Structure formats: C-alpha cells, structure tokens
Amino acid sequence: MLQNNTKRSWKRVTILLTLVLALTFVAACGNKNANADVVVATYEGGQVTQAQFDKELANMLFFYPDYAQIIQMDDFRQYFIKQQIAYLYLAEKAPDKSKQEGAKRADEQIAGIKKQVGDDQFKKMLEAQKLTEADVKTYMDRILTVVTDYNAKVTDEQVKAQFEKDKTDFTTASVRHVLIGFKDKNQKDRKKEDALKLAKDVQDRLKKGEDFAKLAKELSDDTGSAENGGLYKDVAVSKWVPQFKDAALTLPLNQISDPVETEYGYHVMKVESRTNKTFDMLTKEDKDILRTKAATTSLNKFMENDLEKKIIKKIDLPKTEKKEEEKPADKKETDKPATPKEEPKTETGK
C-alpha cells in the first residue's frame, strides 16, 4: 500500500519503461491511414513513414493501453516520433553483441508475457492493436538492443558515481506504523481533519506506553502491515512514497513520530532499525539497478542534445487536434443563443 507510485509526465517517460508491462486489454483505434506510405520524418540514415509511426503507436498501446487517449495529442505525437527515431538510429549503430543480447531478452520478455496472461489473452491483445507477434518482437528487439548497448557502456566509475547520488535509496529500515487513512477499512471517505485527530490520539496512546503492535492490529488502515503489528521489516526505503521514505530516513530510532501525511492518510511511525549500505555492501542486483540508471541518464542526454541538433532532419506529422472554429467577423453573439457542445468522454488513466 505504501509503495511509491508517483505518476510521471509522459514527456519524461522513455521506452525503457516497456520492461514494466501494463497488460490490460484495450480496444484498438482501428483506423486505416490512406497516407500510410507518406514519409513523416527523415533523419541521418533513414526515414519514418506514417505506417511505421502508426505501428510504433500500436506497439506502445500493447504495453500501455492507458495511453489510448494521449496518442491523439499533437505534443505527445511529436515527442513520440523523436523517441522512435532515437531508438531506430541507436539500434542500427549498436554492435552485433548488443543486438544478439537484445533479441534474446526480447524473446524472454515475450515468453514471460504469454506465461502471465495466457496464449489466448496474448492473441487478443495483439488483435486489439492489429499487431502480429513478429511486430512486437521487432519493437522489443530494437528497444532492448539500445538498453543493452547503453548498459554495456557504463563504467564502474559511473556506477559508483550513481551510487553517491542515490545511496539513500539503498538504505533499509524496519518501520512500525499505524495508518489512519483518508479512507477507512470499509473504503468510506474520512475527512482530513478527522484523520489527523485520530492519528494524534494514536500518537498520545503510544507515548503513554500502549503496545504498538496491538494498536496497529486494531486501528491501522494499512492492510499490508496491520496484521503484522504495523511492521515493515528490512525494506528498502526507495519502495515507499516520498513522505514515508523521508521519515524512515530521518526519524530518531525507537521514538514515536508526529503524524506523517502521505497520499494515503496520516501515519504514526516508529523506526526500529536502519541500515545505510556502503558501495562494497551492494549486491549484483543493486549494481545492475545503478548501471541501468546511469545508462538511462546517458540516453536521455543523447535525446535532449544530439538527437534534435545532429540526427533529425525533418518531422512532418499531420495534426490530429482540431482548432476551435473562429466565429465569422460579422456574427453577433446576440443573433443566436450558444448551444453547448458535449465534451468528448475519456477514460482516466491510472
């Protein structure tokens, strides 16, 4: 419940996130483009047609169906075609070793998806976006080739430098807490001021010596820890939402905190232990995470700098958003009452 699920702007999302698979079925747009062979972008060494761009969008929707509305935004489409060009260009330049490893990892990812959702559902997902398995494989080959290549270029010094930036993310802590949520156990809304009052009552009771584990079982709205006496044991603080993470990093050990507000409600916390890792304590998995973050930083720098200045020659995507029609100059507001237009209905993405 306390995992860090802060939403990210699409402008900051890279295709590296295809490794986090959103496997929800969604209906496809299903529109055939009469201008499929029209070139909509040119770059050093290649070009992108309308059909290729549409297929790239379909592949994205295969993994991120919540973007079904966003793909109609012209700003997003401009951003996305630049991203497509970057991966086309970089995958072509990658050494054979990275291409082979990328293809291997793509096969593993597709096998994992099939295992998770089943062959029938996988087929439906493909049909929804008018894709073949080969289309998805080609898409993932390209992405994972670039990921593999950039990871391979990261030096040990860069990994250590990334650790210095992110070292608190590798701190582990055992934290006991009582959550008084903005929704109660029955998912009924609770006013913020009422939640704060209840949390302060819990704080007072704990400071007077009542058993923390007993109170957590009785009162906490966090279903992930209540039955365990409110305890999260030896958890990496990076897994928690920012306010809870900051408290876990800074609170004095074994003291009852003031109520800490997060998006879920108010937490009364006690940090029972905290371990700050040094670089020599990191596991291979920890170092792989740091390597990937350093590689992502390098890739983002390429996209922000070299891509537009040196690689892209021209982008000529057709507009999809219609501008509001201007009223005739001689039309008066009093000539006819305005008729409100119904706003298009959209689904809210998670």
What burial letters (b/e) apply to 52-67, b meaning 16+ CB within 10 Å? bbbbbbbbbbbbbbeb
Question: What residue type is assigned to position 153 of the chain?
Answer: K
Which residues belong to CATH 3.10.50.40 in the chain?
172-275
The beta strands (E) that lie in 291-335 are given as: 312-315
CA–CA separation, 249 and 242 (whole Å): 10
Question: What residue type is assigned to position 166 of the chain?
Answer: D
CA–CA separation, 97 and 141 (whole Å): 13
pLDDT for the residue numbered 100: 97
**Phi/psi at 16 (5° precision):** -55, -25
> Sheet holding 172-181: strands in order across?
231-236, 172-181, 265-275, 260-261
Q: Of 133, 137, 46, 142, which Cα lies nearest the Cα of 99?
A: 142
Is this prediction's pTM over 0.75? Answer: no
CA–CA separation, 109 and 72 (whole Å): 28
Neighbouring CB atoms inside 10 A of 295's CB total: 23
Question: What residue type is assigned to position 120 of the chain?
Answer: D
Structure tokens belonging to residue 285: 């998995």
Identify the H or E element spanning 180: strand 172-181
The beta strands (E) that lie in 75-145 are given as: none
CA–CA separation, 53 and 68 (whole Å): 15
Q: Of 30, 93, 19, 39, which Cα lies nearest the Cα of 57?
A: 30
pLDDT in tens, the chain (350 residues): 566 654 444 444 443 443 333 332 333 343 445 577 899 999 999 999 999 999 999 999 999 998 888 998 999 999 999 999 999 999 999 999 999 999 999 999 999 999 999 999 999 999 999 999 999 999 999 999 999 999 999 999 999 999 999 999 999 999 999 999 999 888 999 999 999 999 999 999 999 999 999 999 999 999 999 999 999 999 999 999 999 999 999 999 999 999 999 999 999 999 999 999 999 999 999 999 999 999 999 999 999 999 989 999 999 999 886 654 444 444 444 343 332 333 333 333 33
DSSP conformational letter for 231: E
CATH 3.10.50.40 holds for 172-275: yes
CA–CA separation, 350 and 344 (whole Å): 19
pLDDT for the residue numbered 30: 38
